[in-house]
Amino acid sequence: MKVRLLLTLALLASVSAGTMAQDFKVAKAPFKAQAPAAVQENEYTIRYCGDDIYCLGTGMNIRVRASIKVSAEEAAVLEGTNLTKVGFALGAIEEYPTTGMSDFHVFVSSRPDGGDIFTYDMTDEEVTEGGWYEVTLATPYEITGDEFYIGYEADVVAEAYSIGMNPYEGRSDNSYLYGYSQGQWQSFVWQSSYGGLDIYGIAVGDVEINETNLMLKSGSIDSYIESGSKVPVSFVLCNYSFKPVTGYNFEVGPEGETTTMSYDGTLNPGEQIGLTAEYQFGEVEGLNNISFAITASAADGNSDITPEDNTITMQTNLYNRDATLDEPRSILLEQFTTEVCPNCPYGHQVIDAVLEQYDEPVIRVAHHAGYYTDKYTLEYSEAICNFFFNAGYTFAPSVMFGRKHYPEMPDSYSGTAPGPIFGVSQSTVTEAMNDQITIPTFISMNIDTEFDQATNKLKIRVYGESLLAGMEKYINVFITEDGITTRGQAGATGQWTHNHVLRDVLTAPEGDVLQFGEDGSYTYETEWTVKSQIVGDYGTTSVNPENINVVAFIADMDVANPLKCEVYNAVNAEKVLSTGINDAAEVDGVYVYANGSEIVIDGVFDGASVYTVDGVLVETVGAGEGVTSVQGLNAGIYIVKVAAGDSAKSVKVVVD
């Protein structure tokens, strides 16, 4: 099930708080149209994104101004031509009958917030439907080499999704969106994840243009490559030139070891294409972290306006099989699921069925995020769900294997794979497992835990050996819980059991930097104060200490790039509190033990108090003789302080 993600556009610091609504919504339009393109020999298209129309909504009634910038460098290439047409896309969704726009006009301007050189007013009847529009300028705008902007301005209602954009195609660095508030245009900070605005222009002129404008992006290569292998390298080529390009070359490979590859297809302005090249690696000794680059040569033999974006560089590890550790590697599987997700029970069944076919160890963590929230949702889970899905929406059931990006696994909503999270199916889970079991072990992981009753702390120690000691790595430690039963799971009848539920995060959100010794060894220690309840933003839930686990994993982390956060290894300790807590204890001849949902104090004593592990007093008991019971307790760990004679001691017991 899919959820539209509310994209928060932060206002510039100069804008007063609360001036304008900042929640923007994104939805794909229920149609796909093709924008007109330049077809004549002396026509040139100014365009930065493809034909798909996605719909951006403001969430408020406001006048908006949307434009794209033609930089001075680009205008210099077009100098001597005339801008004759401005085109744009408007969105529309089924829930709203029209575009929701009125008082609409198209402009050419010197600034994104005004300075109009040309405007064309459109009637409300002209902009009632979603799709592509094109306006012919009554007086063409002469392009002189100065920077300029083209776009549209209109009033938009809160309920409409009317601003056309491309979240996964095109550029964002030249897209500008303004809202009119407090008597002035105020800029929303545009983010790259939103893509580019669906706006274009057509210039006409008898000039010779020998410059192109290509961009490479979205490169992907295996994280670990055995030396001597031939591997595929995937990347996306974008054409931001003013005319179609054909016949371009690529330099592919590590520095000093590149090979030339060519592509002869035609790419129109604003289009992009996914390409794959195969590269043959030579033999190496040991483990080598290398930079692998792809550089696009100028198309058709022309120079490029912005050559700095013609290269993408990716990191990979080239290794000799003899250099890996002869240690087990566990696969980290993170699931995204909630109680309100009707498809999630089936997703769990699919995952379980696939994993039964493998002997390799898989460590699972269930994040209650992706399709709305429930009482087990943590802020951390919501944050990484948005970060690792890397798109304008989220959905569940979905999974992530070792936080690795699998670009060949597009989701069913956008047809793309923007991040490491992908949808659950037998084929996707199987494909990810088949890849994960081939990854060698470069970091070993072991874990010890010890529960200290005196301090109510679970001490955790993770240790091992790394062949990557010279590289910065991050360790993450989670507390998870199994066996949480509910009767409120959507898509299931009767009782449902949640397992592997994330309950607490003991490291920083990005993980803690791991320190290695000179010999590659490491030890990481932390502790968890045992809780009887987890208090979250969406509810308070009790903790069953009998079902508490500790999960630790070591990974890369790039807070600016979710595609560079792969996991090297993982380890878990199961049911870490099921031992070391008193089933029964004696205090000077007085016996204290749990009997189901009650605590029994058996013997002669002067008084007793019952506390939660968080120190909250739940019951006071006077002097007793024989069997005294404290009833009606919730499941959890309790501290019983008993006074008998000259002694006063504390005992911990577990109530089911």
**Over 50: is that where the pLDDT of 12 sits?**
no
Position of tokens 């696009």? 296
566 vs 474: CA distance, rounded Å: 10
Quick one: CA torsion of 462, 467, 472, 474, rounded to 10 degrees?
-30
Q: What is the pLDDT of residue 5?
A: 35
3-state secondary structure of 133: strand
DSSP string across 531-557: -SEEEETTEEEE--GGGEEEEEEEE--
What is the domain partition of the chain in residue ranges? 2-204, 211-322, 331-436, 446-481+500-573, 584-655
Segment 100-118 shows an average pLDDT of 92
**Over 60: is that where the pLDDT of 609 sits?**
yes
pLDDT single digits (tens) 41-82: 789 999 888 777 888 888 889 999 999 999 999 999 999 999
Segment 440-463 shows an average pLDDT of 91
**Over 50: is that where the pLDDT of 19 sits?**
no
Q: What is the pLDDT of residue 584?
A: 63
Least confident of 23-37, 579-593, 642-656: 23-37
Closest residue by Cα to residue 199 from 109, 320, 125: 109
**What one-character DSSP code corresponds to residue 431?**
H
630 vs 620: CA distance, rounded Å: 9
**Over 50: is that where the pLDDT of 7 sits?**
no
**Over 90: is that where the pLDDT of 344 sits?**
yes
211-322 and 446-481+500-573: identical CATH topology: yes
163 vs 101: CA distance, rounded Å: 9
Mean pLDDT over the full length of the chain:
85
Q: Is the pTM higher than 0.75? A: no
Domain covering 331-436 in this structure, CATH number: 3.40.30
352 vs 141: CA distance, rounded Å: 63
Q: Which helix (H) or strand (E) holds 344?
A: helix 344-355
Position 89: which residue type? A
pLDDT single digits (tens) 323-333: 789 888 999 99
Domain covering 584-655 in this structure, CATH number: 2.60.40.3080
Among the four given CATH numbers 2.60.120.1440, 3.40.50.2300, 3.40.1350.10, 2.60.40.10, the one describing domain 211-322: 2.60.40.10
Position of tokens 């004679």? 645
Which of the four pLDDT bands, split at 50, 70 and 90, describes residue 513? very high
- CATH architecture, domain 446-481+500-573: Sandwich (2.60)
Q: What is the pLDDT of residue 299?
A: 67
Segment 348-355 shows an average pLDDT of 96
pLDDT single digits (tens) 163-217: 988 866 567 778 999 999 888 998 876 655 567 899 999 999 988 888 889 989 8
Q: What are the backbone dihedrals phi and psi of residue 433, each rounded to the nearest 5 degrees, phi first?
A: -65, -45
Q: What is the pLDDT of residue 286?
A: 80
**Over 60: is that where the pLDDT of 636 sits?**
yes
502 vs 381: CA distance, rounded Å: 8
